[in-house]
Amino acid sequence: MRLQIARIQVSGKGPHPLHAALPPARIMPALLASLACAGQAPAQCAADIAPSGSVDGEDLGVLLSAWGPVDGPATRSDLNADGAVDGADLAELLTAWGTCAVHVPSWASLVEAHPDPLVVTDAALREAIITTRLAWRVRDTATQIEMLLVPSGSFVMGCSPSELVACDNDEFPRHAVTLTQPYYLGRYEVMQAEWRRIVPVNPSFFSTMPDSDLRPVEQVNWNMARDFAALGGFRLPTEAEWEYACRAGTSTAYHNGSNANSAVSEIAWISTNAMQRSHAAGELRGNALGFHDMSGNVWEWVADFHGASYYAVSPAVDPTGPTTGGCRVIRGGAWYYQSWNARSSNRGCDAPQTATTYIGFRVARTP
């Protein structure tokens, strides 16, 4: 690549503004020094703006074409999110040059290599994802289920009361949990079209709507959800994995950072806004990891047996729930339920044979 940055033309309108801002004599040594040191610096893969799986000339061209104040919606070229694409963003891109290649699982196709800062809004979470060297956003080849990477990490699991409702007894005690391995989780609840790619018969009550393919599959019991996951090479997430992904770095009642019940309608389909039905995936705001409908729409089966006092004896590392029990855990609330059921810490419990119009699931996969 020839680094003639000082004289890049943009849309045939003359020298790029960078030329006016920084003399060529100062640009070239800085560029060469940054490229020489790129392999020594931590990967800052938000700089894969295109994205293509590496930071290269394509990303540089995109950044330069956006040079100047950000006018209107945020742009990915504004790497430090300061409202302008300028020398600071250029320096960050050059620091990451050539260092951002990631591993894509053999069962998946790449959608986006590195976390989009407009989606994964927490900088610490972005860095944790980048550090894994695993692709952030992939699509399962067989089912077309879109999955996002959740990095390993620690959080406090358990009671997060809302402004109107206290926690249930089975949400105590609050306890520290560490998940030692990254995992992929469905960006959305399993949709009816995705279900039919593995199981031809669609059990869903809401299966005749114009957008039914995009609505979560429901009327599936725990055994059906487990079997679907196994057939597709997936698994159900553990309860701890589910809550960690739902919280996405928050400790509030709801994953949008609020304890107010009135704030739930922006993230969850519940009894007050759902009009007595499920809704197509992803219509409402996602959380800081990019997951949608973890609160509301349909409850989600997870792998664990339910234990009302399990939190008192739960392992601090990679807990998987009690070894026996009479019911399986459901999480997240649903269109038929009130706002407080959509709290990040709220736990439900149903017999594994239960199949209703307000229970579905999402799938996980270990890289």
**What is the residue whose two structure tokens read 């039905």?**
277
**Domain annotation covers residue 255:** yes
pLDDT of amino acid 8 = 30
Q: Which of 54, 74, 95 is the last residue of a domain?
A: 95
pLDDT of amino acid 51 = 66
Residues 44, 175 within the same domain: no
Residues 46, 122 within the same domain: no
* 147-164: average pLDDT: 96
pLDDT higher for 360 or 82? 360
Q: Alpha carbon 227 to chain centroid distance? A: 24
Cβ neighbours of residue 262 closer than 8 Å, sequence gap 6 or more: none
pLDDT of amino acid 35 = 35
Residues 88, 137 within the same domain: no
Encoded amino acid at 236, one letter:
L
- Taking the C-alpha atoms of residue 254 and residue 121, their distance in angstroms, rounded to an integer, is 16
pLDDT of amino acid 25 = 37
The residue range of the domain holding 345 is: 108-365
DSSP 145-206: -EEEEE--EEEEES----SS-PPPGGG-S-EEEEE-S-EEEESSPPBHHHHHTT-SS---SS
**Domain annotation covers residue 103:** no
Position 328 pLDDT exceeds 80? yes
pLDDT of amino acid 288 = 96
Residues 83, 157 within the same domain: no
**Domain annotation covers residue 264:** yes
Per-residue model confidence as pLDDT tens digits over 259-293:
999 999 999 999 999 999 999 999 999 999 999 99
Position 203 pLDDT exceeds 90? yes
Residues 141, 283 within the same domain: yes
Residues 222, 322 within the same domain: yes
pLDDT of amino acid 14 = 37
Per-residue model confidence as pLDDT tens digits over 281-326:
999 999 999 999 999 999 999 999 999 999 999 999 999 999 999 9
Q: How many CB atoms sit inside 10 A of residue 148's CB? A: 25
pLDDT class for 74, splitting at 50, 70, 90? confident
Position 116 pLDDT exceeds 80? yes
**Domain annotation covers residue 140:** yes
Residues 120, 195 within the same domain: yes
CATH number at residue 180: 3.90.1580.10
* 27-48: average pLDDT: 43
Q: Which helix (H) or strand (E) holds 329?
A: strand 328-331
* Residue 310, phi then psi, degrees to nearest 5: -65, -35
What is the tally of structural domains in the chain? 2
Position 257 pLDDT exceeds 50? yes
pLDDT of amino acid 48 = 80
Structure tokens at 179: 């998940």
Residues 121, 205 within the same domain: yes
Q: Which of 95, 123, 144 is the last residue of a domain?
A: 95
Residues 133, 76 within the same domain: no
Residues 143, 239 within the same domain: yes
Residues 43, 129 within the same domain: no
Q: Which of 95, 130, 161 is the last residue of a domain?
A: 95
Residue 145 in contact with residue 131, Cβ under 8 Å?
no
**Domain annotation covers residue 101:** no
- Taking the C-alpha atoms of residue 306 and residue 326, their distance in angstroms, rounded to an integer, is 7
Cβ neighbours of residue 12 closer than 8 Å, sequence gap 6 or more: none
pLDDT > 70 in the chain, percent: 86
* 87-109: average pLDDT: 88
Nearest residue to 261 via CA among 171, 166, 193 = 166
**Domain annotation covers residue 102:** no
SS3 label, residue 154: strand
Residues 86, 189 within the same domain: no
